[in-house]
Structure 1
Amino acid sequence: MSESPVVLWSRPESERAGTPLLVMFHGYGADEADLFGLAAQLPAEFTVASIRAPLQAGPGRAWFPLRNDLSYTPDSVTEAAAEVEAWLDTVRGGHTSVTLFGFSQGMCMATTLLRHRPADYAAVVGLSGFVVEADGDPWFDDAATAAAKPEIFWGRDQADPVVPAAAVEYTNTWLRAHTKLTKVLYTGILHGINAQEMAHVGEFLTLKVLKP
């Protein structure tokens, strides 16, 4: 990723100041346009920024190699997060808060950023995704995260065919120990998102970010 990643914005720069910022992280093999259509279903107060991941993955992009790829390491996750954090530090000052929204591998990115500087974020929305295992990497300040108890919405389908059961179990345990968790299960979305889930996300964001 270059210092300035490719970003789709829901408003022109002249209209962003003083708004809450919501940053979207797409899933593996997708791109910044994949989730951007959901911006219209979120509370209108937010400025939405959808970021393109740095790595090529088939026709789309990836934040880091898949866990079963030999090039995967925790460093590959934190390096991608550090570049996003550096970019975020250039724009966050113009916004009243920053919320992170990640789908699938994008949820890993959102929660990895949260675990480095939990005080920086108003809330996290994670859909059909998981939390990476820190494996002792000092980037992950899980003690500070547990102390802050950030607000997290985690939505998924128990029949999701993509995310491994072990990753789901680890994520469930980690989220319950470190966050204020709003967990909702959906039937029939598999590895996807539906209108009911987006309505719940909108309610969560209104309650936890706009009217805390």
Structure 2
Amino acid sequence: MERIRTLERRPQVKQAGPPPLLVMLHGFGSNENDLMGMAPYLDERFHIISLRGIFSLGSWMGAAWYILNGTPGNLIPDPESRAHAIVVLHKFLSDLPARLNADPRRMYLLGFSQGGDMALALALAAPDLVAGVAVLSGYLGTDTLPDVQPEAVRHLHMLVQHGTADAVVSVAQGQRVRNFLQGLPVALTYAEYPIDHSVHQDGFAVLRRWLTERIDETEQANRDE
């Protein structure tokens, strides 16, 4: 099984119990350093870990989670390597909270582009592993929509953001994600921004609040127990 390289930012404040965990999944051709640039601006209570994709594109080309064919705007995931990546990531995430002494009930996934597809795939295939997912400029990497048991995903919070001028992953693909999730009993927040294949500053502000709200809600629920 492939070894996944990581970067971490440990919680910056003391907490009564195990901290919430945020797992970052980069896009095609990037690496674990990319999304980690967000870490200083995210809630200090999170233990943040950023993962490198398992498929190397060469020393100057970064990494990917799976092979993509086609061209920007019409990228076609390779089914075999995508399925393999999902298995590898599932295994890695299964015991990650225990290895990091984090709260297994509060693991969130943040994925950009191809990483967004991976985050969605994991949440829908193994919803018991995660509490929520943020998908930035992402897509559903399969023509066949996943078969999901509604009760299994009822607890999930989903944030989906996309650029209306995205020439790499069209906004139509972001809307496909939205439309699919609207058919499930998840707590969905969806927004579009006038940008290309990137993260909008207003969208990042929404992401920050959304993540903080997830922690606040779970801490309040724990106090009420």
TM range, normalised to the smaller chain?
0.7 to 0.9
Match of 2:18 in 1: 18
Q: Secondary structure at the match of 2:169?
A: coil
Larger Rg: 2
Displacement after TM superposition at 1:133 (Å) = 2.4
SS in 1 for 2:142: coil
Aligned to 2:87: 82
- Does the aligned pair in 2 maintain the 1:160–1:191 contact within 8 Å? yes
Q: Is the 8 A contact 1:5 1:51 kept in 2?
A: yes
Q: Matches of 2:141 and 2:76 in 1, distance apart?
A: 15
Q: Which amino acid aligns with 2:107?
A: V
Q: Which moved more, 1:164-173 or 1:190-199?
A: 164-173
Q: What's the secondary structure of 1:44's corresponding residue?
A: coil
Question: TM-score under structure 1 normalisation?
Answer: 0.85
Secondary structure, counterpart of 2:159 in structure 1: strand
Secondary structure of residue in 2 paired with 1:132: coil
* Distance (whole Å) between structure 1 residues aligned to residue 216 and residue 79 of structure 2: 33
Give the letter for the 2:10 counterpart: R
Q: State the 1:204 CA deviation.
A: 0.8
Consecutive unaligned residues in structure 2, runs of 5 or more? 219-225
Identity %: 30
Q: Does 1:175 align with 2:181?
A: yes
- Which among 118, 123, 127 is matched to residue 136 of structure 2? 127
Structure 1 regions of 5+ residues with no counterpart?
none
Is contact 1:115-1:145 (8 Å) kept? no
Rounded to whole Å, the distance in 2 between the matches of 1:85 and 1:133 is 18
In 1: Cα distance, 2:193 partner to 2:79 partner? 30
Q: Does 1:73 align with 2:78?
A: yes
Aligned residues: 205
* Aligned twin of 1:103: 112
Q: Equivalent residue for 1:64?
A: 66
| Match status 1:186 vs 2:188 | no
The Cα of 1:135 is off from its aligned counterpart by 3.0
Q: What TM-score do the two structures reach when normalised by structure 2? A: 0.80
* Mapping of residues 37-52 of structure 1, within 5 Å: 37-52=37-52
Measured on the aligned residues, the alpha-carbon RMSD in Å equals 2.7
1:158 partnered with 2:164: yes
